[in-house]
């Protein structure tokens, strides 16, 4: 798509549109925690004349409408009609089907973005499903919780959080800037990465921590039931993200399995070092490894735009 095609949307042929200008109609397809929060934030901040929501089941739509998260609700196909921004808030694995179902209702000049935590799989499929004149720019807001549903939506969820935007090589620059401005207007700090770099980075800071938490929780099958009486704050902090939806996270981990293999191997090696020090009764080596771990964690955490532990539930 040409830059002029995007610029003309909502402004008349040949007219320039400021990248941060409000949209006419935002359609949010999928009103879970992230989709619901996007809708609530866009509505509260006046980023569109109308925010319309769509979901597979009527219950989330009814709750979102009653809570004032959206202006109206519709079927996905009806929701995208006349929209100049479409947010895909469904699980990553179902996005292709959703886009196929609504593609005929998308108008030239419309922008499509998403909130999914895996980008390679999305970039490979979504753009080819869109009609001419419709542009897809991938997004991933690093925000959420293990809670799901529009009843947990927060209009300030993205305030101070990082949102990664993942344009394709040679993509229309104004379309990318328009999507980035949208996330900034929701309060997020925008980082631009390639889809491959995004998947590699989130494998370390999001996907591996979830996998480890789930693995530990599964290992509790070998523990006596009575240990639960002794579980305190440390146990709750470490296991909280293992309460996330299993179907959702099984899909995410599978789709990013290639990028996750390296971090998983490094984690396994670190665990083996600690186990070896314990088996050998080498307290000095054990303390050294723990100190090295603390220092490296401090270095990585110092760059985080949100407190460690707040980002744990993705589409």
The neighbouring-strand residues paired with 112 are 86, 136
- What CATH number does residue 254 fall under? 1.10.3660.10
Domain boundary among 193, 212, 245: 193
> In terms of residue numbers, what domain contains 291?
198-301
Of how many residues is the chain composed? 315
Q: What is the pLDDT, as a whole number, of residue 183?
A: 98
* Rounded distance between C-alpha atoms, residue 85 and residue 25, angstroms: 7
34 shares its domain with 178:
yes
210 shares its domain with 277:
yes
163 shares its domain with 210:
no
83 shares its domain with 165:
yes
Domain boundary among 147, 176, 193: 193
Q: What is the pLDDT, as a whole number, of residue 4?
A: 33
Structural domains of the chain, count = 2
* Rounded distance between C-alpha atoms, residue 166 and residue 194, angstroms: 5
Q: What is the pLDDT, as a whole number, of residue 305?
A: 54
Is 306 inside any structural domain? Answer: no
47 shares its domain with 188:
yes
121 shares its domain with 96:
yes
Is 310 inside any structural domain? Answer: no
Is 261 inside any structural domain? Answer: yes
255 shares its domain with 154:
no
222 shares its domain with 142:
no
Domain boundary among 155, 175, 193: 193
Is 134 inside any structural domain? Answer: yes
124 shares its domain with 143:
yes
Q: What is the pTM of this model?
A: 0.88
> pLDDT tens string for the chain (315 positions)?
333 345 444 344 344 568 889 999 999 999 989 999 999 999 999 999 999 999 888 887 888 888 889 999 999 999 999 999 999 999 999 999 999 999 999 999 999 999 999 999 999 999 999 999 999 999 999 987 766 777 778 899 999 999 999 999 989 999 999 999 999 999 999 999 999 999 999 999 999 999 999 999 999 999 999 999 999 999 999 999 999 999 999 999 999 999 999 999 999 999 999 999 999 999 999 999 999 999 999 999 888 755 433 444 556
b/e sequence 246-272, b meaning 16+ C-beta within 10 Å: eebbebbbebbeebbeebbeebeeeee
């Amino acid at each position: 798509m040409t830059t002029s095609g995007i610029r003309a949307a909502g402004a008349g042929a040949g007219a320039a549109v400021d990248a941060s200008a409000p949209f006419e109609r935002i359609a949010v397809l999928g009103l879970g925690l992230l989709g619901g929060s996007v809708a609530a934030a866009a509505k509260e901040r006046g980023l569109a004349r109308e925010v319309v929501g769509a979901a597979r089941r009527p219950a989330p739509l009814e709750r979102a409408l009653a809570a004032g998260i959206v202006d109206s609700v519709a079927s996905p196909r009806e929701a995208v009609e006349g929209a100049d921004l479409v947010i895909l808030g469904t699980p990553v694995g179902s996005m292709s089907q959703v886009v196929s179902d609504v593609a005929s209702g998308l108008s030239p000049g419309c922008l499509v973005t998403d909130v999914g935590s895996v980008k390679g799989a999305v970039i490979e499929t979504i753009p080819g499903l869109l009609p001419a004149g419709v542009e897809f720019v991938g997004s991933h807001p690093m925000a959420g919780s293990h809670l799901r549903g529009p009843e947990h939506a927060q209009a300030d969820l993205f305030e101070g959080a990082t949102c990664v935007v993942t344009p394709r090589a040679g993509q229309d620059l104004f379309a990318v800037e328009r999507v980035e401005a949208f996330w900034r207007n929701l309060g997020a700090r925008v980082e631009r990465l390639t889809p491959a770099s995004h998947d590699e980075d989130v494998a370390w800071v999001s996907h591996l921590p979830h996998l480890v938490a789930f693995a530990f929780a599964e290992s509790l099958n070998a523990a006596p039931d009575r240990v639960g009486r002794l579980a305190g704050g440390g146990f709750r902090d470490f296991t909280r993200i293992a309460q996330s939806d299993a179907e959702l996270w099984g899909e995410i981990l599978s789709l990013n399995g290639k990028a996750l293999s390296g971090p998983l191997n490094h984690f396994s090696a670190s665990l083996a070092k600690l186990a070896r020090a314990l088996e050998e009764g080498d307290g000095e080596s054990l303390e050294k490894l723990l100190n090295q771990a603390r220092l490296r964690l401090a270095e990585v955490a110092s760059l985080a735009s949100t407190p460690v532990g707040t980002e744990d539930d993705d589409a």
